[in-house]
Amino acid sequence: MFNQTQFQQLAFLAEAGVEVTMLNVDRYQVGGFYKSGTVTVDFTKMTVTARYNEETPFTQEDDLAMVLADLNKDWLKNSAWRSEFWQEPAPEWARVYELLELEV
C-alpha cells in the first residue's frame, strides 16, 4: 500500500504536466514513456511495470518521483536512436528533470 509521501510524489508529477491516471486505489498509470507510452505503478506489488511486463521494484522509502524520472531517462536514452523526435525528453518530463535537478 502506498504512503502519503508517494501519493504526493504522483501529484508532483501531475502538477509538472505528466499524465497520471488512477486505475484503482493501488494502481496508477503514468504517461510519457518512450516506446510503451505508459507505465503502471502498482502499490500492492510495489513495482513499476512497463512494456513486455518489465518490472522495476521500489520500496516505501524510495522517492517515487525520482524512481519514475530515472526510469523515464533510461527509456529516453534507450530510444533516442529510433527517432529524431526522441532526442529530447517530452516537455513535461523535461520539467520534472529540472525540478528534481537531474541531468538529461
Rounded-to-integer distance, Cα 5 and Cα 51, Å: 26
pLDDT band with cut points at 50, 70 and 90 for residue 3:
low
For 1, the grid coordinates are 500500500
Give the pLDDT of residue 69. 95
Q: pTM for the complete prediction?
A: 0.87
pLDDT tens digits, 63-74: 999 999 999 988
Rounded-to-integer distance, Cα 30 and Cα 37, Å: 9
For 26, the grid coordinates are 493501488
Rounded-to-integer distance, Cα 10 and Cα 14, Å: 6
Give the pLDDT of residue 2. 52
